[in-house]
Amino acid sequence: MTLAIATTERQAAIDDALIANVDRLARSQHDGRRIALTRACDVKVERPVFLHNPLVPAKVLTLIAGRAGVSKSTLSIDIAAKATLGKLTGDWNGRPATVAFAAIEDDAGMQKARLQAAGADMTRVLFITVDDTRNGNTVSTGLQLPDDTATLRDTLREHDVKLLIIDPITSCIDGNTDKRDDVRRSLDPLAAIAQELEIAIIGILHFNKGAGYASDKVSGSHAFRDTVRSLILVAKDDETGECVVTLDKSSYTPQQGQSYKYTLAPRFITDDDGERMEVPIITDFAPTDTNVNEIINRNITGGDTTARAADNEVAEWLTNYLAENGPTSFKQIAADAKEAEGYTAKQLQHARERSTAPRIITSKDTGYTGRGRRSLWQIEQQ
């Protein structure tokens, strides 16, 4: 037995028109976007270019990460000073380069003192600030990304800058650095500038506290690690006082995983008022078999110590998160904590229960209209 469905000419015409309309709408949504194919044989192969081989490749964004006080900024200043003198071990060796600093935590005077102590050619150093004019008033502010991307690109091109250092890079990111989308919205255009201008860009970033695998300690969203093609880790050995640098990630050299050690030595300079001042410089930079992962876990010994450090780390993250975001549902906090740091719901709950100053409390979410009851976590107001 067969089933025949009668279709009138009018109905068929309506169906055809409907299909044509759906096809037209689909095409209109993709106007301006077409898939382009390039044969591999037509792609030009170019060797990697290094500002400082193998640590700092050109055309990409490099992050230098470590805990506070381990000389991350001093390392970047040493690289910059050598760049201005043409003394780096890369493609700019023998070719003095102009460098630019966007530094928030240190004023220009202190930056100049540290560069001077490192022997930099000051005529090749530029300090970046942004003049924001609104309602007839001009205020000097720090770099903000992605808002300042176009202006930054034009400025770097105009002055033939070969190295840009942003210290710390989290200071210029517009949004929540624990959120992947906010981080990528700022860093992707920055990486594109490095590629377009064929320059090196270094961003300084902090480690979280506690033990664990070194590259997992980079503060903020995993997008920091995912976006960059070059990641340098720095730690200070409590036993020897030496600093250790590990090339943790690099897409451009087989020397990924190579580590170096150096020491900090005082150098005395005279300020513009004739006063003598002491500034740290890097000395005795050399390869080592010790890596940063070993250092940060050796420095934290004993199970109880490690556990307490981990608890304090989660509590610190949670407090900072709520201070920035205000009252937030636990579901959202747990999702952001897992993405940013890999913390579990149990760790967060334990941190809230142990919180004292400030104390983290829960309250009813009066704006929630779904089934059941939902609570918000927030910092108790004193």
Angle between helix 330-340 and 303-325 (nearest 10): 120
Do the beta carbons of residue 165 and residue 205 sit within 8 Å? no
Which helix (DSSP H) or strand (DSSP E) does residue 349 occupy?
helix 345-354
pLDDT for the residue 315: 84
Q: Bridge-partner residues for 329, per DSSP?
A: 376
Q: 209 pLDDT exceeds 70?
A: no
pLDDT range class, residue 284, cuts 50, 70, 90: very high
Q: Bridge-partner residues for 167, per DSSP?
A: 103
Do the beta carbons of residue 243 and residue 263 sit within 8 Å? yes
Residues 6+ apart with CB under 8 A from 219: 65, 170, 177, 205, 206, 207, 208
**Where does 222-329 have alpha helices with state H?**
223-227, 292-298, 303-325
What CATH number should be reported for the domain whose range is 50-297? 3.40.50.300
Q: 195 pLDDT exceeds 70?
A: yes
Mean pLDDT over 305-325 rounds to: 73
pLDDT for the residue 61: 93
In whole numbers, what is the pLDDT of the chain averaged over residues? 83
Do the beta carbons of residue 130 and residue 144 sit within 8 Å? yes
C-alpha 79/C-alpha 73 separation (Å) is: 10
From the list 346, 355, 366, 296, the residue with the least C-alpha distance to 320 is 355
Residues 6+ apart with CB under 8 A from 286: 260, 261, 262
Q: 15 pLDDT exceeds 80?
A: no
pLDDT for the residue 200: 96
Q: 224 pLDDT exceeds 90?
A: no
The percent of residues above 70 in pLDDT, for the chain, comes to 84
pLDDT for the residue 304: 44
Tell if the pTM clears 0.95, that is, is over it. no
pLDDT for the residue 78: 96
pLDDT range class, residue 220, cuts 50, 70, 90: low
pLDDT for the residue 217: 57
pLDDT for the residue 262: 94
Q: What is the pLDDT of residues 298-312, one digit of tens each?
A: 765 443 444 445 567
Is 302-379 CATH 1.10.10.10? yes
Residues 6+ apart with CB under 8 A from 244: 234, 235, 236, 237, 259, 260, 261, 288, 290, 291, 292, 295
Do the beta carbons of residue 87 and residue 163 sit within 8 Å? no
Assign 266 to helix, strand or coil: strand
Compute the Cα dihedral for 201, 207, 208, 214 and give only its sign. positive
Name, of 65-74, 144-153, 319-328, the range with top average pLDDT.
144-153
CA torsion, points 238, 239, 242, 246, in degrees to nearest 10? -70
Largest CA distance in the chain: 107
Provide the pairing of β-strand 137-141 with 61-66.
unpaired
pLDDT for the residue 115: 96
> Domain map of the chain by residue range?
50-297, 302-379
